[in-house]
């Protein structure tokens, strides 16, 4: 499907009240935000999330899903509500292979808590959200902990109508350490970029480009 046709379909889907393929409008939003077809915020809409110059020069490197993905995580953009830790916010946009903003895609984020422990029975530090009209997303969470063999990382899975599009992992600058990762998975290309902010919460940016 051409990018134009894809965007047209996604725009129609949004105009009709949501991304029905995910049943998003029938799912309870686990954050305090109001019901909406995508987790857009005023700040996000004002940001150049869909600007062509923000599209990465190369597709985002894929990384292994690992053994701890749990399907069916709730719609939840704020994982910081799930436990204590150093709160961070990661914002960015998702672009297709041709650098067109990818609206209405599902992003699953999952990670350990600050002590390096996964919730494999429930959905603490696990949630999904939908990219907004300009491909934007916003994740609020805490810095994950390291666990044996792995440096601190956040798992990500992007999915569309046709299923999975990209599975990868993100790393936190100044926290994630190549020497701490005996798997060799740590990748500089997947390190989130610090963004200056006046607030107390550290902000980061990461833009995804699909293969
Ligand atoms: Fe992991």
For ligand 1, the distance from its centroid to the CA atom of residue 64, given in whole angstroms, is 9
Which residues, 6 or more positions from 190, have their beta carbon under 8 angstroms from its beta carbon? 60, 61, 63, 168, 169, 170, 171, 206
pTM over the 0.75 mark: yes
**Under DSSP, is residue 8 helix (H, G, I), strand (E, B) or coil?**
helix
pLDDT tens string 31-87: 443 343 444 343 444 344 545 579 999 999 999 999 999 999 999 999 999 999 999
18's tokens: 């949501």
Pairing type for strands 126-130 and 106-110 reads: antiparallel
Cα(2)–Cα(76) distance, rounded to whole angstroms?
30
Closest CA to 162 of 209, 208, 104: 104
What's the CA-to-centroid distance between 15 and ligand 1, angstroms? 36
pLDDT of residue 51: 54
CATH topology of domain 3-209: Protocatechuate 3,4-Dioxygenase, subunit A (2.60.130)
Every domain of the chain and the residues it spans: 3-209
Is 28 a residue whose pLDDT tops 60? no
Say how many Å lie between the CA of residue 45 and the centre of ligand 1: 31
> In the beta sheet, which residues pair with residue 193?
205
Give the pLDDT score at 36. 38
Confidence band, pLDDT 50/70/90 cuts, at residue 197: confident
Tens-place pLDDT, residues 167-188: 999 999 999 999 999 999 999 9
- Which pLDDT does position 198 carry in this prediction? 86
Cβ count within 10 A of residue 192:
21
């Amino acid at each position: 499907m051409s990018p134009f046709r894809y965007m047209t379909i996604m725009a129609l889907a949004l105009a009709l009240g949501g991304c029905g393929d995910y049943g998003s409008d029938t799912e309870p939003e686990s954050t305090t935000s109001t019901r909406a077809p995508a987790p857009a915020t005023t700040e996000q809409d004002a940001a150049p999330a869909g600007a062509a110059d923000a599209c990465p020069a190369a597709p985002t490197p894929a990384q292994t899903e690992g053994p701890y993905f749990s399907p069916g995580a709730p719609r939840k953009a704020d994982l910081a509500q799930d436990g204590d830790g150093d709160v961070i916010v990661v914002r960015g946009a998702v672009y297709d292979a041709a650098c067109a903003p990818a609206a209405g895609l599902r992003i699953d984020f999952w990670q350990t808590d600050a002590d390096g422990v996964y919730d494999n029975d429930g959905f603490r530090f696990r949630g999904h959200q939908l990219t907004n009209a300009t491909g934007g997303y916003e994740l609020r969470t805490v810095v994950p902990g390291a666990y044996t063999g792995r440096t601190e990382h956040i798992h990500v899975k992007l999915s569309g109508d046709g299923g999975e599009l990209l599975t990868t992992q993100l790393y936190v600058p100044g926290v994630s350490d190549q020497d701490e990762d005996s798997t060799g998975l740590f990748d500089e290309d997947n390190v989130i970029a610090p963004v200056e902010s006046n607030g107390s919460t550290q902000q980061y940016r990461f833009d995804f480009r699909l293969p």
